[in-house]
Amino acid sequence: MIETRYLTHRSAAIYLETSERTLHMLKANRELPYIKLGGRIRYDKHDLDAYMKSNKRIGAR
């Protein structure tokens, strides 16, 4: 099995543990980078990881 760095919309939503609708809103609001190849959208795992890190919050005590 080949491990891929680039994910489809559905795979990216699963990877982020969010809905496809939420992922679409993040893309539409330009909060999440994506790649368009021949009319198909792909997400780089490195970008998804960076997005998650940038949204990390420390809870109140």
Look at residue 61 and tell me whether its pLDDT is greater than 80. no
Supply the pTM of this predicted model: 0.83
Per-residue pLDDT of 18-39, as tens digits, reads 999 999 999 999 999 999 989 9
SS3 for 1-61 is CCCCCEECHHHHHHHHCCCHHHHHHHHHCCCCCCEEECCEEEEEHHHHHHHHHHCCCCCCC
